[in-house]
Amino acid sequence: MNARPSSSRVDTAFQASLVLAGLGVATVLAGVAWEVLSLSGEALSKGGIGFLTGTTWDPVAEEFGALPALYGTLVTSAVALLIAVPLGIGSAVFLSEMATSRVATVVGVLVDLLAAIPSVIYGLWGLFVLAPLLREHVQPAVQAAFGSLPIFAGPPLGVGYGTAGLLLAIMVIPVITSVSREVLRAVPDTQREAAYALGATPFEVIKGTVFPFARSGLVGAVVLGLGRALGETMAVTMVIGNRYDISASLFAPGYTLAAVIANEFAEAFSPRYLSALAGLAVVLLGTTLILNAGARLLVRRVKGAA
Amino acid sequence: MSLASILVPLPDRSPPPARRVVTAPPAAQDEPRVAKMVVDSLSAYYGRNAVLRNVSLPFVERTVTAIIGPSGCGKSTLVRCMNRMHEIIPGTSVTGRVLLDGRDVYGGHLDPIELRRRVGMVFQKPNPFPTMTVRDNVLAGWRLTGTKPPDADAVVEDALRRAALWDEVKDRLKAPGASLSGGQAQRLCIARALAVQPDVLLMDEPCSALDPIATARIEELIHELAPSVTIVIVTHNMQQAARVSENTAFLYMGELVEFGATAGLFTRPADPRTEDYITGRFG
Amino acid sequence: MRMDAAEPAVRLPASPRLRWRRFVNRAFRVAVFGAVIVVLAPLVAILGTVISRGAPALDWDFLTSLPKPVGETGGGVGHAILGTLILAFGGLLMAVPLGVPAGVFLASDRMPRLGGVVRMCADVLAGVPSIVVGLFAYTLLVLPFKHFSALAGAFALAVIMLPTIARTTEEVVRLVPSTLTEAALALGAPRWRVMLRVVLPSAGKGVAAGIIAAFSRGAGETAPLMFTAFGSQFLSLSPLQPIAALPLVLFNYAVSPYDDWYAQAWAAALVLAVLVLAGNVVARFAMARRSP
Ligand SMILES: Nc1ncnc2c1ncn2[C@@H]1O[C@H](COP(=O)(O)OP(=O)(O)OP(=O)(O)O)[C@@H](O)[C@H]1O
Ligand SMILES: [Mg+2]
């Protein structure tokens, strides 16, 4: 170690600047939370719990209830997970347990490309390719078969909760796949060998030892996917139909928290209106923050145990 | 006992012998001994790299056979070929035959998943399933394959008793499998292998992660098991081989150098390489 | 480990139970393989459509000229391409000076408790919905000045880039062998000099890869720009004026009522996809070849 005082002073300053940068990152996060909270203060304090449970969104009358948007966010995310979880974890199983390393590399790169496509391009594709396809072919067929079910009621518009959920599924699959793959890779081979040596088939090895070992990490992967689905804005805005309503049908148009903010922010000239939109952001942020923090803890636990 | 007195069933021509009752008394010293398993002209590869070359060896029924040799000589590979665990690693291949009761396990009459139930395995590092309880670990061979033993409690107790673990864990069968000490965990893995009633037990350096006391317990256990199970033990420890085994095979650089009764091999090795190894001149 | 390795070479009559287990195993393999196909299909579909519909409208004029008023044909997105580059580079200008040292701090492990908190914050920040980041930038840089600006847009992108840069920097700095740093420290070099002269250069490619990845992520963002950069019909270079961005143009054209603009939206999508995916691929290569 260099003992020259000037040098050690530089060293201290250097270390201090690193610490400051670290604190800077934390400050940015705190700033986001603080600014959004304080902007929403008026709406949240005036509306109280009614802000969450109200179903009317009337900027002219200054009546703001977030429930339909919250409902839309939750329904589209649920649909997305229902589709994405089996496909994403299935793909991860293929990549970590079955594919040769060359195939796994290629497929892994493709999955990462899928994750890198900007969401507005997903939205464009959803609006001009997916929605017409669903409207003209899929939705009529589903209605012909299960038309009596309320979740498939209403005219086939192409846009709506179901379409948004499907598009979200395509967008979150890469997240679930790549995190699950990491988690499965962290399962030690000794666990697999132990099960093989007892006469288990490959399926039984995966089901009986790999999945239980990786369980909390897989949950974490799913929750990270959920976080992305909840916060996704552009693609959903383009295919959800933008109607401030609550409907049981997946074919009905609706709205999500993020889509309301995106569509209405530029027009929100009264402070009360702006504050209500920030209130939606608080609901969204709160949900995703809790989910994300929890998910990362779960993923880290599996990787740490391995 | 001399090598010539080991009866190797003629493979493939003879009908498969009936499975022997596990509790039958061990054969008397001068009777011909039956080879439970035979490795015949076995070569094993990782990719194109041959790590076993033309190895032939009998494993006498209900005795302990030790496999010794310097690190990397192919001991693990040999035992992994015997229950077809070798082929789990991508890019591996095997030529030659491995006979179980006179029939080639690579011959297609036996699915590897059935073979592995009859030829159990214990690994170098204890690998209990951390997400299962002690009890479920013992039953893992049944549970994983979706089968149920007729009397699970009896199976658990019997396997744990045979693994000399019952007294230590009988009050915490519901504890997680990861909560045991290293030596206990290894005996749990032995119990797990025994619970499916294998004919043969392959042990790949089962004591290398254990302290001397835990090692002594496992050696004792091997003695107790020998009358009922055919045991193959890989070890680096020559005293251990001398203590527990009846026959010993010395492998060197993928080839079988010498095989014979343990006492003879350690006192009057026929091959200079064996002598070098057991006197500690290399490896 | 591969699962097909345990399939037997030859099948002979087996017990029904065994046959059932083999069947389940086979069905599982088929299902998993099917899942991969289904997962990759949208990639092919989306890229295929973007290329087939975007390429016809794409020419030099489209890349360089300004939009024409509704009704006139032609026009391009030159202003938006430039705007996106300005916004993304502006974002980097703000995010790199904070993110890289923060990553070095995380990798140094000299204050593990604080490091854990900062790492958690970076991860959580990465999960903040981008529309919320836009709102943050709005309250900080638009509301007080009472107009939209490129500065606010770049700031929003910087917030989005920050966690990526910090975490990849941490990751690659950790890969620098400690023997290297210890050797330098043993020679009496002060820590800061070791960091700047030894560690960062040998982790340089990896850090660069992280920065490129952050750039391409930022360049594709739309939501945080909607009420910060806002968009513009003109070529603007002033940081205090609204500025156009490719994703914004794409969105506005896509939700417009004009067929002509749809075609332009697809062409813009192609340009954006090339920009973003190219950045991604470059970053991946830099990572794969990362030193040491
Ligand atoms: N997965 C593998 N891929 C490629 N080569 C391998 C692999 N496993 C083992 N080998 C090689 O095969 C040879 C035999 O290995 P094996 O594990 O059978 O040796 P061993 O006798 O058990 O050694 P040790 O006493 O160290 O356990 C060694 O040269 C080793 O390098
Ligand atoms: Mg070995």
Residue of C2, C5, C8 lying closest to B111 (CB–CB): C8
H helix or E strand, kind and range, residue A57: strand A57-58
**B202 - beta bridge partners?**
B121, B232
For chain B, list the domains and their CATH numbers.
34-126+200-278 (3.40.50.300)
Whether a cis peptide bond, with omega within 30° of 0, leads into A5 is no
Ligand 1 nearest-atom number relative to CA B80:
18
Instruction: Note whether B5 and B34 are within 8 A (CB).
Output: no
Residue of C6, C24, C222 lying closest to A120 (CB–CB): C222
Residue of C1, C6, C10 lying closest to B108 (CB–CB): C10
Q: Which pLDDT does position A305 carry in this prediction?
A: 61
Residue of A20, A90, A233 lying closest to C131 (CB–CB): A233
Which residues of chain C make contact with B109, given a CB cutoff of 8 A?
12
**Alpha-carbon gap, residue B121 to B140, rounded angstroms:** 13
Instruction: Choose which residue among B75, B86, B123, B235 to substitute to test ligand 1 binding: the one with the highest number of ligand atoms within 8 A of its C-beta.
Output: B75
Instruction: Note whether B128 and B209 are within 8 A (CB).
Output: no
Residue B167's CB: how many other CB atoms inside 10 A? 9
Ligand 1 nearest-atom number relative to CA B89:
1
For ligand 1, whether the C-beta of B67 sits within 6 Å is no
Ligand 1 nearest-atom number relative to CA B124:
27
Domains in chain C: boundaries: 16-57, 61-288
Does the beta-carbon distance from A198 to B196 stay under 8 Å?
A: yes
Q: Which pLDDT does position C290 carry in this prediction?
A: 46
Residue A271 included in any domain:
yes
Q: Of B177, B182, B178, nearest to B156 (Cα)?
A: B177
Instruction: Note whether B6 and B62 are within 8 A (CB).
Output: no
Ligand 1 nearest-atom number relative to CA B91:
3
Residue A277 included in any domain:
yes
The Cα of C237 is separated from the nearest Cα of chain A by a number of Å equal to 22
State the distance from the centre of ligand 2 to the C-alpha of B208, rounded, in angstroms: 10
State the distance from the centre of ligand 2 to the C-alpha of B236, rounded, in angstroms: 9
Global pTM reads 0.88
Q: Is B235 left (phi over 0), alpha (psi -120 to 50) or beta?
A: beta
3-state SS, residue B64: strand
Q: Which pLDDT does position C13 carry in this prediction?
A: 55
> Quick one: how many helices (H) and strands (E) in chain B?
11, 11
For ligand 1, whether the C-beta of B46 sits within 6 Å is yes
For ligand 1, atom 16, name the residue with the nearest CA. B74
Does the beta-carbon distance from A121 to C106 stay under 8 Å?
A: no
Q: Which pLDDT does position B7 carry in this prediction?
A: 55
Nearest CA in chain C to B93: C5
Residue-wise burial string across B7-23, b where 16 or more C-beta atoms lie within 10 A, e elsewhere: eebebeeeeeeeeeeee
Which of B43-52, B70-79, C3-12, C52-61 is predicted with the least confidence, judged by mean pLDDT? C3-12
Instruction: Note whether B128 and B192 are within 8 A (CB).
Output: yes
* Cα R_g (chain C), whole angstroms: 25
What residues make up the domain containing A297? Answer: 40-305
Residue-wise burial string across C88-124, b where 16 or more C-beta atoms lie within 10 A, e elsewhere: bebbbebbbebbbbbbbbbbbeebeeebeebbbbbbb
Which residues of chain B make contact with C14, given a CB cutoff of 8 A?
111, 114
3-state SS, residue A142: helix
pLDDT tier at C6, thresholds 50, 70, 90: very low
Indicate the length of chain A as a whole number. 306
Q: How many CB pairs under 8 A join B and C?
A: 37
**Alpha-carbon gap, residue C217 to A210, rounded angstroms:** 33
**Alpha-carbon gap, residue B187 to B199, rounded angstroms:** 18
Residue B283, CB half-sphere, CA atoms under 13 Å: how many? 23
Residue A26 included in any domain:
no
Nearest CA in chain A to C100: A21
Q: Which pLDDT does position C38 carry in this prediction?
A: 96
For ligand 1, whether the C-beta of B91 sits within 6 Å is no
**Alpha-carbon gap, residue B70 to B50, rounded angstroms:** 17
**Alpha-carbon gap, residue C21 to A204, rounded angstroms:** 9
> Quick one: DSSP state of residue C189?
-
Q: What does each C-alpha distance from B35 to A200, B6, B202, C247 come to in angstroms? A: 27, 7, 15, 75
State the distance from the centre of ligand 2 to the C-alpha of B72, rounded, in angstroms: 7
> Quick one: DSSP state of residue A136?
I
Give chain C's end-to-end CA distance (angstroms, integer). 28
Give the strand pairing for B200-204 and B119-122: parallel
H helix or E strand, kind and range, residue B53: strand B49-60
Arithmetic mean of pLDDT, C105-114: 89
Chains that touch C (3 or more CB pairs under 8 A): A, B
Does the beta-carbon distance from A204 to B145 stay under 8 Å?
A: yes
| Mean pLDDT per 10-residue section of chain A, whose length is 306 residues | 61 90 96 94 85 89 91 95 97 94 92 92 96 93 87 89 97 95 93 95 96 91 91 94 92 95 87 92 89 78 67
The Cα of C266 is separated from the nearest Cα of chain A by a number of Å equal to 8
Does the beta-carbon distance from A193 to B141 stay under 8 Å?
A: no
Instruction: Note whether A216 and A119 are within 8 A (CB).
Output: no
For ligand 1, whether the C-beta of B51 sits within 6 Å is yes
Task: State ipTM.
Answer: 0.90
Instruction: Choose which residue among B39, B43, B49, B51 to substitute to test ligand 1 binding: the one with the highest number of ligand atoms within 8 A of its C-beta.
Output: B51
Residue whose pair of structure tokens reads 């744990």 in the numeric block: B160
Q: Of B123, B130, B133, nearest to B206 (Cα)?
A: B123
> Quick one: DSSP state of residue C243?
B
Q: Of C61, C128, C181, B76, nearest to A28 (Cα)?
A: C128
Q: Which pLDDT does position B18 carry in this prediction?
A: 41
**Alpha-carbon gap, residue C216 to C276, rounded angstroms:** 5
Does the beta-carbon distance from A204 to C21 stay under 8 Å?
A: yes
Both structure tokens of A206: 């995966």
Phi and psi at residue B150, to the nearest 5°:
-60, -40
Q: Is C132 left (phi over 0), alpha (psi -120 to 50) or beta?
A: alpha
Both structure tokens of C257: 């009522």
Residue of C24, C114, C123 lying closest to A203 (CB–CB): C24
pLDDT surpassing 50 at residue C292: no
Burial degree of C174 (CB within 10 A; 0-12, 13-18, 19+): middle
Q: Which pLDDT does position A306 carry in this prediction?
A: 53
Q: Helix axis angle, C259-288 relative to A101-116, nearest 10°?
A: 140
**CB proximity A197 to B under 8 Å:** yes
Helices (H), chain A: 5-47, 49-53, 67-93, 101-116, 119-125, 131-133, 139-146, 161-185, 189-197, 202-205, 211-231, 234-239, 257-264, 271-305
Instruction: Note whether C97 and C104 are within 8 A (CB).
Output: no
For ligand 1, atom 28, name the residue with the nearest CA. B72
The low-confidence residues of chain B, meaning pLDDT below 70, are 1-32, 282-283
For ligand 1, whether the C-beta of B278 sits within 6 Å is no
The Cα of A212 is separated from the nearest Cα of chain B by a number of Å equal to 6
User: Which residue would you say has higher pLDDT here, C183 or C51?
Assistant: C51
Phi and psi at residue B103, to the nearest 5°:
-120, 140
Residue A266's CB: how many other CB atoms inside 10 A? 12
Kindly give, in sequence order, each residue whose CB lies less than 8 Å from that of residue C146, ignoring residues fewer than 6 positions away.
none
For ligand 1, whether the C-beta of B71 sits within 6 Å is yes
At C233-250, the pLDDT tens digits run 888 888 889 999 999 999
H helix or E strand, kind and range, residue B259: strand B255-261
Both structure tokens of A266: 């530029």
CATH code, domain with A199: 1.10.3720.10
Rounded to the nearest integer, the mean pLDDT of chain C is 87
**Alpha-carbon gap, residue B262 to C6, rounded angstroms:** 35
Instruction: Note whether C244 and C83 are within 8 A (CB).
Output: yes
**Alpha-carbon gap, residue B278 to B142, rounded angstroms:** 41
Residue A25 included in any domain:
no
Q: Which pLDDT does position B208 carry in this prediction?
A: 86
The Cα of A93 is separated from the nearest Cα of chain C by a number of Å equal to 7
Nearest CA in chain C to B146: C21
For ligand 1, whether the C-beta of B89 sits within 6 Å is yes
**Alpha-carbon gap, residue A284 to A118, rounded angstroms:** 21
Domain count, chain A: 1
Does the beta-carbon distance from B90 to C10 stay under 8 Å?
A: no
For ligand 1, whether the C-beta of B76 sits within 6 Å is yes
**Alpha-carbon gap, residue A304 to A291, rounded angstroms:** 20
Does the beta-carbon distance from B140 to A195 stay under 8 Å?
A: yes
Q: What does each C-alpha distance from A158 to A119, A233, B102, C253, C270 come to in angstroms? A: 19, 18, 67, 20, 24
For ligand 1, whether the C-beta of B128 sits within 6 Å is no
Both structure tokens of B110: 């036996």
Residue B151's CB: how many other CB atoms inside 10 A? 10
Residue of A198, A209, A213 lying closest to B116 (CB–CB): A198
Chains that touch B (3 or more CB pairs under 8 A): A, C
Arithmetic mean of pLDDT, C163-180: 89
Which residues of chain C make contact with A234, given a CB cutoff of 8 A?
222-223, 247, 251
State the distance from the centre of ligand 1 to the C-alpha of A96, rounded, in angstroms: 23
Residue A296's CB: how many other CB atoms inside 10 A? 21
Residue A27 included in any domain:
no
Q: Which ligand is nearest to the CA of B73?
A: 1
pLDDT tier at C273, thresholds 50, 70, 90: very high
Residue A30 included in any domain:
no
Both structure tokens of A31: 């700033």
Task: State which amino acid sits at residue B40.
Answer: D
Chain C residues within 8 A (CB-CB) of chain B?
1-2, 5-6, 8-12, 14, 17-18, 21-22
Instruction: Note whether C229 and C248 are within 8 A (CB).
Output: yes
Instruction: Note whether C222 and A118 are within 8 A (CB).
Output: yes
Does the beta-carbon distance from C8 to B145 stay under 8 Å?
A: no
Q: Which pLDDT does position A10 carry in this prediction?
A: 83
State the distance from the centre of ligand 2 to the C-alpha of B75, rounded, in angstroms: 6
Does the beta-carbon distance from B88 to C8 stay under 8 Å?
A: no
> Quick one: DSSP state of residue C230?
B
H helix or E strand, kind and range, residue B60: strand B49-60
DSSP secondary structure string, B199-233? SEEEEESTTTTS-HHHHHHHHHHHHHHTTTSEEEE
Helices (H), chain C: 16-54, 60-64, 78-108, 112-127, 130-137, 150-175, 178-186, 191-194, 200-219, 246-254, 259-288
Q: Which CATH number fits domain C61-288: 1.10.10.60, 1.10.3720.10, 3.40.50.300, 3.40.50.2300?
A: 1.10.3720.10
Instruction: Note whether A175 and A115 are within 8 A (CB).
Output: yes
Phi and psi at residue B108, to the nearest 5°:
105, -10
